Homo-oligomer: A and B are copies of this chain.
Amino acid sequence: MVVITEARHTSPEVGEGWKGSRCNVIATTPTTLHDLLHAMGMKTDEPLGDSNFSVPVWRVRAGAVLQHEGARSEFVHVVRAGTFKCLKTSEDGYEQVLSFAAPGDVLGFEAVCRGRHVSSVVALEDSTVFMLPLRDLSRWRQLSPALDQALQYALSRQLARAGEIAEMMAAVAAEVRLARFLEWLSNSMADRGQSPWRLYLRMSRRDIASLLGVAHETVSRSFGALAEWGYLKVDNRSVEIIDAAGLHACTRSTRGMADEAPRRPAAAGRHRAAVAMAA
């Protein structure tokens, strides 16, 4: 039913000559619709008579580009395993990260209304994705109400997440932005059944900085600050949340307010006097 004509992708325009210039996105053995629905978080695995679906699964190596901004879009991807970042590349080469994607997330749906991808998608680690051909999508949704419902739910989540990302970027202080990001990541881990305390960041500091709208040096400093506050233990990309309540309190610092002093004089009182405001 679905003919895979091309099993090789290269990344000429975005990551010109990315690490390992061959076979970064390759087809593997297809799987069932049931598997797809399970990955999308559908608990109710109704028997759904259509078992003749054959859903292509592709393997994406770390650093490989799954979707090219501006390219004609032919597939909607659903993350099966791994992590991705979505980004827009400015003409001066700056990469603006828009979001991170984890298993169950839908990638490339923004292209439905234009036929071309509006952002690039890059794998942050070796990952696998389901490939849903755009031209068959509406037919598939008609054939399988379960798939249709799963897609609507996923899109709804995606929309809700966009609001959460805006909340992160809107914070005044850089540490608050990072705290919100880490809490969001922690909640994502919990939703996925993994430990919300021990995080391993698949993305670089620069990627986080881009998402949060700050300089990457500021992200480094903010990590140091949150660690010094006693909320985190940071070792490169391994982050352990020590004081979730304190981190959450740090999250609640909004623009135009002066009530909350994120003071945590736990360690040696060397942290800067950001708390020396009104009584």
- A81 proximity list for chain B (CB < 8 A): none
Q: Are B257 and A110 in contact (CB under 8 A)?
A: no
| Given A163-B88, A169-B213, A156 and B254 contact (CB-CB distance below 8 Å) | no
- A257 proximity list for chain B (CB < 8 A): 92, 94
* A162 within 8 A of partner (CB): yes
* A155 within 8 A of partner (CB): yes
Q: Which of B111, B114, B213 contacts A170 (CB 8 A)?
A: B213
Q: Give the copy number.
A: 2
Most B C-beta atoms less than 10 A away, residue of A86, A99, A109, A155 = A155
* A240 within 8 A of partner (CB): no
Of the listed stretches A31-39, A58-66, A144-152, A265-273, chain B binds A144-152
* A83 within 8 A of partner (CB): no
* A245 within 8 A of partner (CB): no
Which residues from 109 to 159 on chain A have a C-beta closer than 8 Å to any C-beta of chain B?
A: 109-114, 118-119, 138, 141-142, 145, 148-149, 152-159
| Given A91-B252, A213-B170, A156 and B113 contact (CB-CB distance below 8 Å) | yes
Q: Are B163 and A166 in contact (CB under 8 A)?
A: no
Q: A193: shortest Cβ distance to chain B, in Å?
A: 17
| Given A98-B166, A166-B166, A159 and B109 contact (CB-CB distance below 8 Å) | yes
Q: A92 — nearest CB in chain B belongs to which residue?
A: B257
* A16 within 8 A of partner (CB): no
Apart from A92-B254, A155-B159, A169-B213, what 20 extra A-B contacts exist at CB < 8 Å? A90-B252, A94-B256, A98-B162, A98-B163, A110-B159, A112-B152, A112-B155, A113-B153, A113-B154, A114-B160, A118-B163, A119-B163, A138-B145, A138-B148, A155-B155, A166-B169, A169-B170, A210-B255, A213-B213, A215-B255
The 4 closest A-B pairs by CB, nearest first: A162-B162, A112-B156, A94-B254, A113-B156
17 contacts between A and B (CB under 8 A): A90-B252, A92-B257, A94-B254, A94-B255, A96-B166, A96-B170, A98-B162, A98-B163, A98-B166, A109-B159, A110-B159, A111-B156, A113-B157, A114-B160, A141-B148, A166-B169, A215-B255
A interface residues (Cβ-Cβ under 8 A, vs B): 86, 88, 90-92, 94, 96, 98-99, 109-114, 118-119, 138, 141-142, 145, 148-149, 152-160, 162-163, 165-167, 169-171, 210-211, 213, 215, 252, 254-257, 259
